[in-house]
Structure 1
Amino acid sequence: MGYYVTVDSGVKLYVEDINPGGNKTIVFLHGWPLSHEQFEYQFNVLPQMGYRCIGVDWRGFGKSDRPMSGYTFNRLADDIRSLVDALRLKDFTLLGHSTGGAIAIRYVSRHNGFGVSKLVLVDAAAPTGFTAETASEFLKKCLNDRPKMMQDVTDGFFFQYLTKPFSDWFLQMGLQAASWSTAAIITTLRDEKLYADLPNINIPTLIIHGIHDKVIPFSQAKEMNQKIRNSKLVPFQFSGHGPFWEERDKFNQLLTQFI
């Protein structure tokens, strides 16, 4: 079931709410520059096991509204708080991938973990995101040839082999986003750090990270594991930046065991 939730003046987020009557709720935050659709291989399985899966497109991405501003981690985290309030969510698992992981961390830190019982960080872009060099390269491509940028993102995303149809699907998902929001998040990933947020996380946290990740080094997962109390790091031996697809059976099983 898909619907829109107003989270800010003139800004509505698209929500894919699968199995609303499920016993346990998982809120999924996608990575840059994707959408909730990246979790297709979780949504195929978990609702049938009794879980309520809520996929959220952040502002500027997927099917959500695309304002010109509001792409700081604080604002994106506040959007999630507004969503949680509107849906009256409580005792849910918050799962964030890549930049979605950074937003999840800021949400828990900034809003004192409101409503969240467990946190799952998947190849999270934390405590740092892009280097100045990487951000500069992505910005140049984004503002001059965004389809080529998205192809480069796709090519470096996964460790396992991609079919051409899968690659095309993934690329088109990234192109659903607005160009300005895509560029704005690059700047946010360059300029914002999450070191101060990590000690504020006091809920059980599962850290999943592909050891072959070329986007966010596995060393950052180790650093988060050291700085987040009550956290557990599980390396994914055959994944790059996308264990939710590359090792989806293991991913889904681990997720259900943790929840």
Structure 2
Amino acid sequence: MATITTTDGTHIFYKDWGSKDAQPIIFSHGWPLSADVWDAQMVFFANQGFRTIAHDRRSHGRSDQVWHNNTMDQYGDDLAELIEQLDLHDVILVGHSTGGGEVTRYVGRHGTGRVAKIALIGAVPPLMLKTEANPDGLPLDVFDGIRKGTNANRSQFFKDLTIPFYGYNREGAVISEGIREEFWRQGMMGGLKGQLDSIRAFSESDFHQDLKAFDKPTLVLHGDDDQIVPIGASALSTVKIVKHAVLKVYEGGDHGLTQTHQDRFNADLLDFINA
């Protein structure tokens, strides 16, 4: 397995497909998944002539399960170390959900010197938690419920979570048991402690200042029926901060649209990259 070792000694697993001389695209996954969720995109874009890279966030997938440092700052720093150790330039960053937070925090802490474009997909910025200053966010008890379900019986919780995640509770939805089983498999590969810490990281991290550092072409893509990361407190707020961002909304789109709308998403992302 290919890994890098971060400055705090954590081994981060990554996949690296396509030509090493091609422009790189880095895909950052959502909670509680792994790099495997991006396999279809990695194959598609590698076949389009790009170098495609995806890593397992610390305490997720095949990366080390660590007790400390499961924070958004560290996720951003891990991404920076991956980019620097592979000596990547002109990178296209693509982050889904928590991965969108990771990408955003990377830009806030490390700048865009190695970055060409950014795509935030169903992403958590600028802030998921409801506060006086962020009334469209979700109340803390929602995230307490996620913590409780994950801690008490994460196997069952992950299975149940696939229903709203992919919009399978909507009229006319075609349920894929394969997608549900794959979500469960990837989730169960991760470490419980890190996954619990990550809930705080994705829900309580404030990305307003990070988004102000965006100075590269940016795509903000979101489903308007996202039941996990509601569009109002996320994408619609992000594009008010990143003034040059391109907003693309999938009507009726769910949170897992990179899989449920795979061909459409791949085409839209390719159009953005090539624009």
Same fold (TM over 0.5): yes
Q: Which residue identity does 1:27 align to in structure 2?
A: I
CA contact (8 A) 1:97 1:122 kept: yes
Count of aligned pairs = 258
TM-score (norm 1): 0.95
Asked if 1:258 corresponds to 2:272, the answer is yes
Who is 1:241 aligned against? 255
Normalized per residue, the structure richer in strand is 1
Shift of 1:255: 1.2
Q: Which residue identity does 1:127 align to in structure 2?
A: P
TM-score (norm 2): 0.90
CA displacement, residues 98-150 of structure 1 (integer Å, 9 cap, x when unaligned): 00001101111111123111000000011113531111101111111111221
Deviates more, 1:21-30 or 1:91-100: 21-30
Deviates more, 1:187-196 or 1:86-95: 187-196
Instruction: State the secondary structure of the residue aligned to 1:230.
Output: coil
Shift of 1:162: 2.3
Instruction: State the secondary structure of the residue aligned to 1:224.
Output: helix
CA contact (8 A) 2:4 2:11 kept: yes
CA displacement, residues 59-104 of structure 1 (integer Å, 9 cap, x when unaligned): 0001111111111111110111111110000001001000000110
In the aligned structure 1, how far is the partner of 2:117 from the partner of 2:37?
Answer: 21
**Percent of residue pairs bearing the same amino acid type:** 28
Shift of 1:237: 2.1
CA contact (8 A) 2:13 2:56 kept: yes
In the aligned structure 1, how far is the partner of 2:184 from the partner of 2:191?
Answer: 14
236, 244, 256: which is aligned to 1:222? 236
Shift of 1:207: 0.6
CA contact (8 A) 2:72 2:202 kept: no
192, 195, 205: which is aligned to 2:205? 192
Give the aligned CA root-mean-square deviation in angstroms: 1.4
Unaligned regions of 5+ residues in structure 1, if any?
Answer: none
Shift of 1:23: 2.5
Who is 2:145 aligned against? 137
Who is 2:194 aligned against? 181
Shift of 1:9: 2.5
Q: Which residue identity does 2:174 align to in structure 1?
A: Y
Q: Which residue identity does 1:223 align to in structure 2?
A: S
Who is 2:132 aligned against? none
